[in-house]
Structures are given as C-alpha cells and as structure tokens.
Amino acid sequence: MEENNMAKQTWLITGVSSGFGRSMTTQLLEAGNTVIGTVRNTTKVQDLVDDYPDTFICETLDVTDVPAIHQLVDQLAATHTIDVLVNNAGYGLFGAAEELGDQDVDKIIATDLTGSIQMIRSVLPHMREQGHGRIIQISSYGGQVAYPGNSMYHAAKFGIEGFCESVAQEVAPFNIGVTIVEPGGARTEFRYGSAQVANLMPAYDDNPAHAFLAMLDPANGLAPGDPNRMAARIIESVDQTPAPLHMVLGSDALAKTIARLQDRVAEYQAETDLAASTDFPAGE
C-alpha cells in the first residue's frame, strides 16, 4: 500500500488479534502509521510488538468492561492524538432465540453493542477538542438484513447502526466523520473460528433457524470476501470527505442489502392508507 496523507495518523483499533483488525493493523503499520491495538491475549500479536516497537502499541482490553474503556481512552488521549477509532471487536452468536441462554444474550450485547457505544462515547470528547477525527464502526450487512438463527447478532448490529447514524449527525459540525462498514461473508475467524453456537434443541432441527450450520462448515465452500482487500478499502475510506455513512463490502452482500431495502420500502408503501387512517381529519 502506498503511503499517503494518512502516514502519520494514529489509529485506535479494538480486536486486532485476527480478522479485519489484524489485516488493518498490518497494512497501516507497513504504511508508517501508528496503531494502538487492543486485545485480550497479547501472545497473538507478539510478532507485531517485535516488528514495530515504535509504532505498534498493544493494550489489553475487554470491551465489556466499561470503566476500563473510559480509563484506557483517557490515558491514551493524554499522550496521543487519536485520529481514527475502529470498533472491530465482536463475535457471532448462532441459534434460535429460544435456544440462547440469558448469559448468551447479555454477553453479545455487552460485546457487540454496548462495547462499541462506550468506545465511541469515550473518544468523542478528545476528537471534539482536537477538532477532527474519524470513527469507523465495523458492523455487517446483517445490520440491514436479518436471517433466522442470528437474532441476537442482528439485534446488536441493527442497534449499533442506529446509534452511529444518530451520532454521525451530532458530531459532523466538529469535523468528526462516522462510517458504518457492512461486510459480507469473509474468510476470517469470525465465521470459522470464533463463532459461538447455542445449545441446539431437537425441536428446531429441519427448521430455518439451523440453516447457519451449513454456512459454518468450510466443507460447504468458503466465504467470498477477502479480509485483506476489505481492510484496504476501509483504510482508504478515511481519505473520503465527507465520510461515507455506509460502506458495504462484498458484491453478494450489496445485492442482498438492496433487495431487502427495496422489499422494506414496498412493505411501508403498502401501508399508506392505514397510516393516514389514524390522523385527525384535515382541519381538526
């Protein structure tokens, strides 16, 4: 990747031990940027610590620990200008809603939704004071399109997208841009390593809720998305002004997103008379 005007920026990225976080971190470091990467297990990034002792800063963080988020961001902002925040930490949870335990529900909301919200809230005062910043939220086309067997993942992604769309309007006057990244399937640990599956119930066998089992098996074909190419497009987006609010990665993901949005518009248009029937008559 050629060096450009991003070369001296400092990026704060959560979850850099694998997947998009790892790919982005490697490309950014190779281009001369400074990356503050958070992990839960430092051994997975020891090679980056060794290879980039001056520009890779490894921090241990569990994004479900809200006080730790605030403490770390404030500590980092005291010595660094955080130009870009990338909320990347997260995981997939599969299973019918009835098959999920209470702890399953609480954990994925704390990780995929609340953790991202609190990272953004923590960094905003510092970006506002410095007069610039870019927030990149890794979501999924599953933040727009819902499938059976993914209810809590969709709950987190639909939720973080609504949060980011609102925040983007709030912070634009401070020269802070927000981009929601919506990748399709990619060949990362998200699908083939870190995905978590509920305690499956026989009642849901041969039910659409268990269709995900075929997707998680590499023997049925690998995901089309290249995480390195996706990471490169995410990095390049920081040069775009204004920041793109949504960025879909993967042609299949884009086609499915557009189809769902078109269906949704048609569903709402069909309710025109119903919606109007609840208004006071004109003049009243």
**Residues recognised as catalytic:** 153
Distance CA 180, CA 163 (A): 10
* φ/ψ of residue 102, rounded to 5: -60, -40
Distance CA 161, CA 121 (A): 15
Contact 85, 134 (CB under 8 A): yes
Sign of the torsion angle spanned by Cα atoms 275, 277, 278, 283: positive
Contacts of 230 (CB under 8 A, 6+ apart): 20, 23, 183, 186, 249, 250
Distance CA 20, CA 221 (A): 20
Residue 104, token pair as written in the block:
């399953």
Whose tokens are 């189809």? That residue is 259
Whose tokens are 């609340």? That residue is 114
